[in-house]
Structure 1
Amino acid sequence: MNPFEESKIPHLDQLSYTDIQTATLAMGCFWSPEALFGAMKGVIRTRVGFAGGTTPAPTYRTLADHIETVQIEFDPEQVTFAQLLEKFFAKHTPTQEPRKRQYTSAIFYHSPEQEQGAQDAIKAAEEQFQAKVLTELIPYENFHLAEERHQKWKLRRHTEVLRELQKIYPAYEAFNNSTAVARVNGYVGGYGEQETLMEEIASLGLSVPVQNTLLALYMTQGTPGFPFAYR
């Protein structure tokens, strides 16, 4: 990559990390959860897909026994797995039976430490809800990436902002793996802290007019609905 091309990369995507961990969570629909977590400081990238099933190549139309899932890569020095689970239980109803298998509440743990953390979080959630939590605790095995049209779904609803980021990242994989793109996907949906947005807005690779568009979208969204609906 030449210096001119490097200059276009958002500052948020030029940061390096000493430790990157992965969380794989399912909380009904995967569009809003990707935005929710993408807007959290310390989250590096997000993607949506399918996990927990036995069929080798699920798609959105042929899910079989898989579950709609969001996968999160994060910097544990900035945000912990426990903090992700706090958001997880705060933003959906894990005591509700899903209408279909694909909308199941689940935590796919990547390590014994994550398994113990999830068990602790489930216990705390049951005390909070005063009801049995139906979240499934499943060892992580694999994750099947959903089709491109499902990735960063909130952002894809706003073409002015989307196109500016696609100019920076014309290749789909780079676009989907961008921290800046994950963050903008959350902000356009009204997720995240306003203070964090104001700190980061100049680091997202957006022109001043599109920064203003992003701010307007964030402010008009208000507090996104709770809980995420089972479709």
Structure 2
Amino acid sequence: MNPFEEDKIPAIDKLTYSSPKTATLAMGCFWSPESLFGSIGGVIRTRVGFAGGTTENPTYRTLADHIETVQLDFDPEQILYAQLLENFFAHHTPTKEPRKRQYTSAIFYHSPEQKQAAHEAMKAAEVRLEQKVMTEVLPYQVFYLAEERHQKWKLRRVPAVLNELQKIYPKEEAFNNSTAVARVNGYLGGNGEKERFMEEMGSLGLSYPVQQTLLAHFLAKDLGDLPFKG
């Protein structure tokens, strides 16, 4: 990468992490969960796809027995896996049978420690909700990336912001691996803390006019215009 291209990279994407971890979670339709987790400090990148089934190479139209899933990389020095699970249980309804297999509530654990944390989080959720939690706790096996049109869904609904980020990251893999892209997708969904948003806005690689567009969408949540829908 030449110096000119390096200058285009958002400051937040130049950060490095010593030992990132992965979490794989399913909480209904995957568009809003990706936005939710993308807005959380310590989350490095997000992607949506399919897991939990037996059919190879599923697609959105041919899911078979797979579940819509969000996968994220996070820095455990900034956020704990248990905290991610708190957000998981707080932002969907894990006490009802899903209307379709693809919308199943599930935690795919990557280690014995994640498995233990999942069961502890489930118990805490049952105490809080005073109901049995239907979430499945399953060993992680394989994750199939969803089609590009499903990645960063909230961002794709706002072309002015999308276009600016795609100029920085014209290739799909780099686009989806960007922390800036994950954050913007989160903030456009009305997720995240206002203080963090204001601190990070200048590090997302956006021009001033596009920053204002992002700000307007983020602040709309305070008016109730952008409720979370799992």
Match of 1:199 in 2: 199
Check if 1:121 corresponds to 2:121. yes
Task: Give me the whole-angstrom Cα distance separating, in 2, the residues matched to 1:29 and 1:221.
Answer: 20
The amino acid that maps onto 2:50 is F
The within-5 A match list for 1:21-100 is 21-100=21-100
Match of 1:152 in 2: 152
Match of 1:17 in 2: 17
8 A contact 1:93–1:227 mirrored in 2:
no
8 A contact 2:34–2:48 mirrored in 1:
yes
Match of 1:5 in 2: 5
Match of 1:134 in 2: 134
Task: Give me the whole-angstrom Cα distance separating, in 2, the residues matched to 1:62 and 1:146.
Answer: 11
The amino acid that maps onto 1:73 is D
Measured on the aligned residues, the alpha-carbon RMSD in Å equals: 0.9
Check if 1:102 corresponds to 2:102. yes
Stretches of structure 1 lacking an aligned partner (at least 5 in a row) = none
Instruction: Decide whether aligned partners of structure 1 residues 197 and 137 sit closer, same or farther in structure 2, where only a CA change above 3 A counts.
Output: same
Moved >4 Å (runs of 4+): none
8 A contact 1:29–1:103 mirrored in 2:
yes
The amino acid that maps onto 1:94 is P
Stretches of structure 2 lacking an aligned partner (at least 5 in a row) = none
Q: Shift in Å at residue 96 of structure 1?
A: 0.9
Match of 2:227 in 1: 225
Q: Shift in Å at residue 154 of structure 1?
A: 0.2
Q: Shift in Å at residue 220 of structure 1?
A: 1.1
Task: Give me the whole-angstrom Cα distance separating, in 1, the residues matched to 2:129 and 2:178.
Answer: 36
Cα displacement string for residues 120-167 of structure 1 (whole angstroms, at most 9, x for unaligned residues) = 000000101111100000000000000000000000000000000000
Task: Give me the whole-angstrom Cα distance separating, in 2, the residues matched to 1:39 and 1:54.
Answer: 31
The amino acid that maps onto 2:216 is A
Match of 2:186 in 1: 186
Match of 1:169 in 2: 169
The amino acid that maps onto 2:13 is D
Task: Give me the whole-angstrom Cα distance separating, in 1, the residues matched to 2:211 and 2:196.
Answer: 14
Q: Shift in Å at residue 226 of structure 1?
A: 5.1
8 A contact 2:154–2:185 mirrored in 1:
yes
Q: Shift in Å at residue 109 of structure 1?
A: 0.2
SS of aligned partner of 2:115: helix
What is the aligned-residue identity percentage?
71
Task: Give me the whole-angstrom Cα distance separating, in 2, the residues matched to 1:34 and 1:125.
Answer: 21
The amino acid that maps onto 1:36 is L
Q: Shift in Å at residue 221 of structure 1?
A: 2.9
8 A contact 2:221–2:227 mirrored in 1:
no
The amino acid that maps onto 2:158 is H
Cα displacement string for residues 68-124 of structure 1 (whole angstroms, at most 9, x for unaligned residues) = 000010000111100000000000000011000000000000000000000000000
The amino acid that maps onto 2:209 is P
SS of aligned partner of 2:83: helix
The amino acid that maps onto 1:51 is A
The amino acid that maps onto 2:227 is G
Match of 1:212 in 2: 212
